[in-house]
Amino acid sequence: MNRTTRILSKPWPAREATPAVTVNPPLYKGSTVLFNSYADMLKAGRHEYEGISYGTDRLPTQRQFEEAMCELEGGTVCRVFQSGIAAIQTALMAFTASGDHILVCDNAYGPGQRFCRKVLQKYGVECTPVPPDVGADIALYIRPNTRLILLESPGSITFEIQDIPAVTAVAREKNIVTVLDSTWATPLYLQPFELGVDVSIHSVTKYISGYSDVLAGTVTVGETHARTFENFYKMMEIYTPAEECYLALRGLQSLATRLKQHERSALTVAKWLESLPMVDRVIHPALPSHPEHHLWQRDFSGSSGLFAFTFKKEYTDSELAAFIDSLTLFRLGYSWGGYQSLITAAKVMRATPSRYAGKTIIRLHIGLEECADLIADLENGFTMLR
Ligand SMILES: Cc1ncc(COP(=O)(O)O)c(C=O)c1O
């Protein structure tokens, strides 16, 4: 046999290899997955094969992460995606069809709302924004063809909290699917299925992966809608790279420990900000001053490291630039949930009336640095505004 042919046709695992049991699971990569026999291939063709038939059939690394998330959330089926936004988009497509109407919470992740307006609309799905602090009053917006409600609680810029059990009670009566983006709370601080939610979404990119080097998302579905979603996912032949699933699984191992630190430091910084005369509002669900603090207390078992504040005075862009650019620990960038603290500043754009209309929202992601250093960094930055 030719030398190259011999190398290329070497079976795996190599016969002489000693099995190694590592702490972390192996990373499976593959497009082609080999069948043992033609009979198995025929079964796969008839959709009767029980093994994995192709790379898009969810290789073991992907399945392992999905199973871990499903168990943490208490759902029936979990599927992973190449980003949080892909998870949102696919969930919306799986449960809607032309002629449907959906309700979208006005504080939901911007690109998700844009997808509803620009893409779903194109396929005949109409979308209406609802106030970000909606509860039982969701009933006012429901039409005979309303099929889905997209919630995000708390929203990741202005942190309004929805009365989730009140919304899901109304939705259930009318067979409307409720979808919740629960990224802020992670599966550790909110159990959406216990509050009646049908579909729970996470941007794994944030706390779950934890190092700002992974893009991934999950959709976990409760029993009623599990088969519909499973079939849709399969039909779309979605695939998430094994490396991302591996890193997400690894992130899960330390999530609880990291999150406690994010929570503690964020609350310390938030309380310190509340004591400053130049600060108007600190928008943090775990502070008693938050308008829906009672809902947070009732439904959540903790808070994460992302919150916002507003100044009493509206500063110009160049004044804000002097403040933000003087910071050394808070870095300027999108996303959150990593070990490094981040800052963003922008005026919010809302379709429904907002508490923060016309105000610049300064959003902080509190990372894993020493809290006193973060406060000193902000204090130093504020001198540029005084
Ligand atoms: C609340 C929320 N959901 C979803 C997403 C989208 O996640 P990804 O960046 O993984 O696409 C983001 C991103 O910032 C987010 O803040």
What's 62-97 look like in SS3? HHHHHHHHHHHHCCCEEEEECCHHHHHHHHHHHCCC
Give the helix/strand (H/E) hosting 213. Answer: none
Q: How many domains does the chain have?
A: 2
Q: Are residues 209 and 282 in the same domain?
A: no
| 334 Cα nearest atom in ligand 1 | 14
Closest to 158 (Cα-Cα) out of 111, 228, 107:
107
Q: Are residues 53 and 164 in the same domain?
A: yes
Q: Which residues pair with 326 in a beta bridge?
A: none
7 found inside a domain: no
**Which of 107, 109, 189 for a ligand 1 pocket mutation test, highest count of atoms within 8 Å of Cβ?**
109
Q: Are residues 300 and 353 in the same domain?
A: yes
Residue written as token pair 């099995």: 19
Q: Encoding tokens for residue 97? A: 């069809």
Query: What is the distance in A from the centroid of ligand 1 to the CA of 84?
Result: 5
Last residue in a domain, options 216, 250, 284? 250
Extract the runs of DSSP E, i.e. beta strands, from 109-168.
Answer: 126-130, 146-152
| 336 Cα nearest atom in ligand 1 | 14
User: What tens-digit pLDDT sequence spans the chain (386 residues)?
Assistant: 998 998 888 877 766 667 788 999 999 999 999 999 999 999 999 999 999 999 999 999 999 999 999 999 999 999 999 999 999 999 999 999 999 999 999 999 999 999 999 999 999 999 999 999 999 999 999 999 999 999 999 999 999 999 999 999 999 999 999 999 999 999 999 999 999 999 999 999 999 999 999 999 999 999 999 999 999 999 999 989 999 999 999 999 999 999 999 999 999 999 999 999 999 999 999 999 999 999 999 999 999 999 999 999 999 999 999 999 999 999 999 999 999 999 999 999 899 999 999 999 999 999 999 999 999 999 999 999 98
Residues with CB under 6 A from ligand 1: 83-85, 109, 152, 156, 181, 183, 203, 205, 215, 217, 335
The one-letter code for the residue type at 223 is E
CB atoms within 10 A of CB 147: 18
Closest to 200 (Cα-Cα) out of 66, 307, 54:
66
Domain range for 283 = 255-382
Query: What is the distance in A from the centroid of ligand 1 to the CA of 74?
Result: 22
Extract the runs of DSSP E, i.e. beta strands, from 273-317.
Answer: 279-283, 306-311
| Calpha distance 113→348 (Å, rounded) | 14
Q: Are residues 200 and 286 in the same domain?
A: no
Q: Encoding tokens for residue 339? A: 């070990």
Q: Encoding tokens for residue 93? A: 């497509």
Last residue in a domain, options 250, 282, 310? 250
Q: Are residues 123 and 272 in the same domain?
A: no
Q: Are residues 94 and 231 in the same domain?
A: yes
Residue 345 has φ and ψ, to the nearest 5°, of: -145, 130
| Calpha distance 65→27 (Å, rounded) | 11
Q: Are residues 233 and 274 in the same domain?
A: no
Contact 34, 10 (CB under 8 A): no
27 found inside a domain: no
Compute the CA torsion angle 62, 64, 70, 73 (nearest 10 deg). -110
| Calpha distance 381→367 (Å, rounded) | 17
369 found inside a domain: yes
Q: Which residues pair with 151 in a beta bridge?
A: 180
32 found inside a domain: no
292 found inside a domain: yes
Query: What is the distance in A from the centroid of ligand 1 to the CA of 202?
Result: 8
Query: What is the distance in A from the centroid of ligand 1 to the CA of 85?
Result: 6
Per-residue CA distances from 196 to 170, 171, 312 (Å):
10, 9, 39
Q: Encoding tokens for residue 19? A: 């099995």
Query: What is the distance in A from the centroid of ligand 1 to the CA of 386?
Result: 34
The CATH number of the domain holding residue 365 is 3.90.1150.10
Q: Are residues 281 and 201 in the same domain?
A: no
The CATH number of the domain holding residue 88 is 3.40.640.10
Last residue in a domain, options 233, 250, 267? 250
| 205 Cα nearest atom in ligand 1 | 10
2 found inside a domain: no
Query: What is the distance in A from the centroid of ligand 1 to the CA of 90?
Result: 14
**Which of 104, 153, 205 for a ligand 1 pocket mutation test, highest count of atoms within 8 Å of Cβ?**
205
pLDDT score at 18: 74
Buried b (16+ CB within 10 A) or exposed e, 333-355: eeebbbeebbbbbeebebeeebe
Q: Is the dihedral of CA 101, 103, 104, 106 positive or negative?
A: positive
Q: Are residues 282 and 304 in the same domain?
A: yes
153 found inside a domain: yes
273 found inside a domain: yes
Closest to 216 (Cα-Cα) out of 184, 180, 241:
241
Give the helix/strand (H/E) hosting 180. Answer: strand 177-181
Q: Are residues 216 and 279 in the same domain?
A: no
Per-residue CA distances from 108 to 127, 129, 182, 362, 386 (Å):
13, 10, 10, 18, 34
Residue nearest to ligand 1 atom 9, measured at CA: 84
What letter does residue 54 receive in the DSSP assignment?
A: B
Q: Are residues 288 and 206 in the same domain?
A: no
pLDDT score at 307: 98
CA atoms within 13 A on the CB side of 282: 22
Q: Are residues 42 and 108 in the same domain?
A: yes
